[in-house]
Structure formats: C-alpha cells, structure tokens
Chains A and B, each alone.
Chain A
Amino acid sequence: MSSTATLTPMETKPAEHATRTAVSVNRADKIFTLSRGKKLQALAEVDLEVREGEFVAIIGPSGCGKSTVLRLAAGLDRPTNGTVEIFGAAPHELATQHRLGVAFQEHALLPWASVRSNIALPYKVAGRKVDDARVDGLIELVGLKGFEKARPKQLSGGMRQRVSIARALALSPDLLLLDEPFGALDAVTRRRMNAELARIWGEEKITTILVTHDVDEALILADRVVVMTGRPGRVRTIKNVDFPRPRDAATTRSPEFHELVDELTSLLDANDGDAA
C-alpha cells in the first residue's frame, strides 16, 4: 500500500457525509469581449451545486464553456453576471489559502524541475516544509516510482499528466479541478488513467470537478454528470450515476452502463443540433 496520507479516511459513501456545499455557481454568465468590440457568450445562466466529497463530471460538446466553468471555480476568471462561491467564499480565497488543486489541459510542469520538485512545488509556494513521505506516496500513487529525478521532457505525455495530477493532490486540497487531464492521451492509456484516478479518488475522497468530452470517462468516475449545451453553455441536464464503486470492466460492460452512455451521447448530439 502507498504511504499516502488520506484526506478523509472515511469509507462512507459521499452522499452520507456530503452536508456542506463545496461549489455553488448561481446564474453565471460569461461574456468574453473579442477584438473590435465583438462579444462571445461562453456561458448562459449556469447553475451548479457540488457537495463536499462529491465527484462531478461536466460533459458537453467542444467549445461549450466547460473549461470556463472550471476557470470560474478556480478563480481564474470572474462571471460577467451571477455568482460563484467556493465553500461560501470568493473562489480566489481557496487558492490564497493553498486549498485548491488543479490539473490543467496543458500539464504546465516546470521544464527545469524534476518530477519530484514539480510535485513538491505547491509546498514551496505555500511556504510549507515539503512533506517527503507524502510526495513519495503521490509518486507511487501515480505510478512514477523510479522517475523521481526525470525532467518533464524525458517523460511521455501520459506520465506528464500523472505528474500534474500528483501535483494537484500534493497539499490534499479541499477542491480538485481537472480540465480534460487525459485529453491528449490515446484510448488505452486513457482507460488506465481513468482507473488510476478512480483509485486515487477512492483513497482521498476530495471534492472533484472533472471536465471531459468523453462520456465513458464521466460515467466511470463521477457521482453526477452535468451535461452542457453548445455555445452559449447552459446546463442541459444533470444525471446521477449510481453504479457501485470500484467501477471495473464488469460495470462498463453492463447494459445499464451502455444505456446511460447512449442516453448521454444522444443528449450531446442533440446539443450539436441546437447549436447549429
């Protein structure tokens, strides 16, 4: 077993201890001003509540503003209208308190730093002593033992993404935001990474929002799946996913799983129709 300290050692189901609201997005609009005064509405009246300890996946056609929702939650962007609160406060406060973990679409690893120092970066930025045992545990958790001293350019794409996920987990954040972290990977690696992420989440039970355009991925990982419409992005529907965990091959092969995949996929297709 890895020596990783778990944030919440509870073995209970998320729903049972999910009393607090972690993320609350209320009627959020996001309008980007482009060149020559043109405006682009990315989000329209998005409502989203994520309870503490919950894993929520956001799916939608590309360009529907999924990532924008995540950027709002991370405090990287502000909504044009509406509000975003994280644990009852402004989103950037969570970052200031070093309680936020984000894995971006681009891994954003520091090219000059080793795997180990990249994962330890949040400690250094937070001005805390690096917890070597925790860093070792994370390296093991994401399966990069033996690569501690490697620099990002020596790693494969999948390995870089895993480093980026380990870095996001380093400080045992209260909120984890994943923006298509496996977007650039091939299908096989992607499935393996999904399984690993499910296992990591099972150990840490961190409130997580995952943005993806892969329906299977969303259903393997999430407690709830938010389906968004095409631009401007709105919440079309929210589906509860009740498959027991861990969701292994037996789950993904089941007819119920396929039924849900089909249902969600058709919702996405319908969105494309709306957008066109």
Chain B
Amino acid sequence: MTRARSIGMGIVHLWPIALLLLSWDAWVVLNGYTSTVAPRPWFVIADVFTGFADYVPSILYTLGMALGGLVGGTLIGFVGAVLVWWSAALSGVVTPAALIIRSVPITALIPIIARIVGYGDPAVLASTMLICFFPAFVFTLSGLAAIPEAGRDLFTVLGANKLQVLSRLGVLYALPNLMVSVRITAPSAVLAAMLAEFLMGTSGLGALFSQARSYMDMERSWGTALVATVVSVLVFVGAQLMERRVESRLT
C-alpha cells in the first residue's frame, strides 16, 4: 500500500516534465512546424530509445570528459586556494591570474585552448577544467578563511606547524565548501564539455549534436539535447548526494 502510494507520489511529482512535453507538442502542432523546424517530442523520445546504442559512446565520452574536467578543475582550484592561504606572496600571483582567466568568455577561449593543448580530447578536458576551477578556488578559500578562531588557537597551543593546521584543520573545514562548488559546477562541466565538443571535438554529445544538425536529422539533434539534459541533471544529483555525505561526515 505505502509502496504503491510512494510510486504514485513519484509519478505525481513528474508533472512538470509531463507539462513540458505536452506544451512542446502543442507548440509544434499548433504552429504547424515541420520536423525540420522542430520535431514532436514523441519522435525525439523514440529516437533516443531506438537509437540508444548510437548515443551510448557519446554519453560516455561526454560524461568522462565532464567528470575528468570537474575533478581536475576542482583540484586545481583547491590547490590554488591553498597556495593563496599559505603565502601572501603567492596570493599576489594566483588571485589576479584566477580572476583574469575567469573573466575571459569560455566560448572565445576554446579555439585558443585547442591551439595550445591540441584539438580533441585535451582541449575538451582543458575547457571543462577551466570552467570548474574558479568556483572551487573561491569556495576553498572561503572555507579556509572560515576556520574557527578557537580551532586556530587550539592548534597553536598544541604546537602545530602550518602544514598540520592545513591538513588537520583547514582541509577538513574547506571540504564541505569544496563540495558546494562541485555541486554547482557539475552541470556547467557537462555544458563546457559539450560546448568544446561542439566547437571542435570529434566525439561526445556536442559532436553528435553538431553532426545530426548538419545532416538535418532533427530527431537526433533534439534527442542529443534531451540526453544531455538528463546527463546534466544526473551529474548534479550525484554531486548533491556526495555533498550531503561529506557534510554529514564532517560537521
């Protein structure tokens, strides 16, 4: 009974998606769009299910690039923040560099990145890392800055050196913050990977979208967008679960 009820509740909570699909369909039909302009949702969904095998390699590639870039960018941001925390001299170098890189629009930067690190995988990975590193940098820095006074005093009277303060106190106070950054950058990582793939990659969902468009295969290109959305949401949900686990373990 309760199980049936919880399934029922789950379905009820899906109403925004149902509404979206219905209004999408109505929009296409009422405007009399042909499938070249905008395909009906049912054909897009059918393409995703029947041609799922074609999607899988692209999904895996984009997911791999997004996660790789997310982890890499987060690590770089984390290390940058630790360096800034560690020394004022390094702070003078790292902080402006981080701000400048952050301020350049990523779309404009991708061709340059590709020129430097090479077309294909390295460029996709590098662009994704670039998107992810700044939030990680900022959030880690705020976590390190928020080490409680009492904790600092404790480590001083225990005779701890700076490395111990960092490893036994700072890192653990910064980690929940870092997980917030992972959660908010995770969908952007998927976006950045797809954008890079779209602009110059040869594989991944971005490339699949670009190909499908050039062949006027609208079901496939809309299907790619749909799949990308689902992947993005799943990555976000995964990051949120991790964030909660870290949060409950550390605080």
Contacts and interface: CB of A to CB of B under 8 A. Distances in A.
A108 B151 contact: yes
Given A106-B150, A125-B164, A112 B155 contact: no
Contact of B153 (A108, A112, A122): A108
Given A111-B251, A112-B251, A125 B159 contact: yes
Nearest to A104: B150
Interface string B187-227: 00000000000000000000000000000000000000000
Interface string A94-108: 011110111010111
A74 interface: yes
B37 to A, nearest CB: 55
B173 to A, nearest CB: 9
B89 interface: no
Given A102-B154, A112-B172, A125 B251 contact: no
Contacts of A104: 150, 153-154
Interface in A85-100: 92, 95-98, 100
A125 B158 contact: yes
A5 to B, nearest CB: 19
Nearest to B251: A111
Contact of A76 (B153, B159, B168): B153
A125 B160 contact: yes
A98 B159 contact: yes
Most buried by B among A75, A98, A111, A125: A125
A153 interface: yes
Most buried by A among B160, B164, B249: B160
B215 to A, nearest CB: 54
B19 interface: no
Interface residues of B, number: 18
Most buried by A among B153, B164, B172, B251: B153
Most buried by A among B148, B153, B154, B172: B154
Interface in B215-251: 249-251
Contacts of B172: 110, 112
A121 interface: yes
Contacts of A76: 153, 156-157
Contact of A75 (B151, B157, B249): B157
Contact of B159 (A100, A111, A112): A100
A15 interface: no
A92 to B, nearest CB: 8
Contact of B251 (A74, A98, A102, A153): A153
A124 interface: yes
Contacts of A102: 153-154, 157
Most buried by A among B148, B157, B250, B251: B157
Contact of B157 (A74, A111, A112): A74
Contacts of B153: 74, 76, 102, 104, 108
A184 interface: no
A235 B239 CA distance: 57
Nearest to A171: B158
B157 A126 contact: no
A108 B147 CA distance: 11
Contacts of A97: 159
Contacts of B157: 74-76, 95, 100-102, 177
Interface in A122-173: 122, 124-126, 153
A122 B158 contact: yes
A100 B160 CA distance: 12
Contact of A108 (B150, B159, B160): B150
A126 B155 CA distance: 11
Contacts of A111: 250-251
Contacts of A125: 155, 158-160, 164, 168
The 8 A-B residue pairs whose C-beta atoms are closest, nearest first, are A108-B150, A106-B150, A95-B159, A108-B154, A112-B250, A102-B157, A125-B158, A96-B159
22 contacts: A74-B156, A76-B157, A92-B156, A95-B156, A95-B157, A95-B158, A95-B159, A98-B158, A98-B159, A100-B157, A100-B159, A106-B150, A107-B150, A108-B153, A110-B168, A110-B169, A112-B172, A122-B158, A125-B155, A125-B158, A125-B168, A153-B251
Given A107-B150, A108-B154, A110-B168, 4 more contacts: A104-B154, A112-B172, A121-B158, A126-B158
Interface of A: 74-76, 92, 95-98, 100-102, 104, 106-108, 110-112, 121-122, 124-126, 153, 177
